[in-house]
Chains A and B, each alone.
Chain A
Amino acid sequence: MAVLSQVQERLILTGRERTFSPDEIIVSKTDTKGRITYANRVFQRVAGYTEEELLGKAHSIVRHPAMPRCVFKYLWDTIGAGNEVFAYVLNRAKNGDHYWVFAHVTPTFDHEHRITGYHSNRRLPSASALAKIKPIYDKLMEVEKRHALPRDQWGASLPVLVETLKKAGMSYDEFVFSITVPAGAKTK
């Protein structure tokens, strides 16, 4: 019974959007395997989980089924190589609501520059950025739908993402920043 309700919890989508203040940051820390070691109170409130429910769980606990897998593939590859990464991510709250975040994930290093874990700061994305990223994600999801296995899914959609960036003539970082900070408008 408990298992069934857990499965249902994972599958339900309410279609309701949640949001948070532009002055707030959703913060989480994970170990090198992506298991949550810290979740701030904004995270707990927006995702609808208690600290106890989050600690020790894989970060994919807030994964939304409408998120292209290749974005996470790129994200993990990038931070695993010791670099920061930005991503617009659609997350799923415990009750099936959804919320968009602009995630900044960075590795945490020890004194010998070994990765000891990851840190994620998630901010409220602008409507204009989402308007630009949603059609790209839709295209990637379209590609992923043709495959059954996650590996095949990102395997097929990652080249599409790369091609899209190539057409825009920008690196992934540059692209994300170009839709995030509209030409220095936010420097003041």
Chain B
Amino acid sequence: MNDLEYGARTSSKGTEAWIAEAVRVCKAASEGDLEARILHIDAEPSLAALLHGINHMLDMTDAFVREATASLEFAGEGKFFRRVLLEGMLGSFRRAANSINAATAEMQHERGELDNAEKRRLELETDFNRVHETVKSFGVAIAKIEQMSRAINKLADQTSLLSLNASIEAARVGDAGRGFGVVATEVKKLATEAAKAAVEIQGCVKDLSTASGVTKSAIEQIWGVIHSQAAPAKK
């Protein structure tokens, strides 16, 4: 104790005790406990340098492990901005840190690609939904046209009957009705034309209906494929 007052350097522990302390810390570190450090180092200079060296080695290893763990944990959660800090990392530590950062960047890139693919798929799904709705509305329109063509047909039949009656009436009044008879004949011709057109329309409607049915089932099939591709991109 007096030695201290005289300014002489005295170690609080003997060399053996310092080495035992160093062995304890190194053993803890080798078992994965990076918390242990050697404190209150006041050994003679060369031994102190060794003890400080052990602390420094542990500080660097500890820093690397904390950085690498944090970066990988974040990447696992899809947060890729958390890179390993390279400051203070030298040699193998820096190389490993660079490798982790490169892997994280690659993961980020791939996640981006997947996200884009999913975005495009969703757009496609929306577009196809619209087409699907449109094709479904075709059926309604076709049914309406068919209904209308049937009405035209009926109208033509009635007109035809009406013109026949008009011809008979015209014949009954003799010469005075001749002109009227000609008009009745023309009306009948028109009715026949209208009936023919109605039949043609019905033929077209049938073709259209078949085509629309085929389109509808094709679209439903494609839509099913697009829909089944959901999920893998997004958790």
Chain A positions within 8 Å of B79 at CB level: 173-174
A38:B82 contact, CB within 8 angstroms: no
Chain B positions within 8 Å of A29 at CB level: 35, 37
Given A27-B63, A123-B88: 9 more A-B contacts, CB < 8 Å: A29-B37, A41-B52, A41-B55, A173-B79, A184-B83, A184-B105, A186-B86, A187-B105, A188-B98
**A153 beta carbon closer than 8 Å to chain B:** no
A25, A51, A108, A188: which contacts B39 (Cβ < 8 A)? A51
Quick one: which of A100-158 are within 8 Å of B by CB?
102, 104, 106, 108, 116-117, 119, 121, 123-124
A23, A41, A184: which contacts B90 (Cβ < 8 A)? A23
Quick one: which of B64-100 are within 8 Å of A by CB?
66-67, 70, 79, 81-83, 85-88, 90, 98
**A169 beta carbon closer than 8 Å to chain B:** no
**B101 beta carbon closer than 8 Å to chain A:** yes
What 6 A-B pairs have minimum CB-CB distances, sorted nearest first? Answer: A25-B88, A123-B87, A27-B59, A187-B101, A177-B81, A38-B37
**B120 beta carbon closer than 8 Å to chain A:** no
Bound Cα distance A40, B56 (Å): 8
**B28 beta carbon closer than 8 Å to chain A:** no
B85:A104 contact, CB within 8 angstroms: yes
Chain B positions within 8 Å of A123 at CB level: 85, 87-88
**A178 beta carbon closer than 8 Å to chain B:** yes
Bound Cα distance A47, B118 (Å): 52
Chain A's nearest CB lies how many Å from the CB of B214?
A: 49
A178:B81 contact, CB within 8 angstroms: yes
Bound Cα distance A108, B56 (Å): 18
Interface residues on B, range: 20 to 34
Report the number of A-B residue pairs with Cβ-Cβ less than 8 Å: 72
B66:A177 contact, CB within 8 angstroms: no
**B102 beta carbon closer than 8 Å to chain A:** yes
A186:B35 contact, CB within 8 angstroms: no
**B235 beta carbon closer than 8 Å to chain A:** no
B70:A106 contact, CB within 8 angstroms: yes
**A97 beta carbon closer than 8 Å to chain B:** no
A interface residues, how many (CB within 8 angstroms): 33
A40:B55 contact, CB within 8 angstroms: yes
* Listed residue (B81, B98, B101) with the most chain A CB atoms within 10 angstroms of its CB: B81
Chain B positions within 8 Å of A121 at CB level: 63, 66, 88
Bound Cα distance A117, B33 (Å): 13
A187:B83 contact, CB within 8 angstroms: yes
Take A25-B63, A173-B81, A177-B82 as given contacts and tell me if A84 and B70 are in contact as well, using a CB distance cutoff of 8 Å: yes
Quick one: which of A7-37 are within 8 Å of B by CB?
22-25, 27, 29
B37:A174 contact, CB within 8 angstroms: no
Chain A positions within 8 Å of B151 at CB level: none
Bound Cα distance A23, B105 (Å): 24
**B220 beta carbon closer than 8 Å to chain A:** no
Chain A's nearest CB lies how many Å from the CB of B12?
A: 11
Bound Cα distance A177, B79 (Å): 12
A22:B88 contact, CB within 8 angstroms: yes
* Listed residue (B39, B82, B88) with the most chain A CB atoms within 10 angstroms of its CB: B88
**B157 beta carbon closer than 8 Å to chain A:** no
**A181 beta carbon closer than 8 Å to chain B:** yes
**B60 beta carbon closer than 8 Å to chain A:** yes
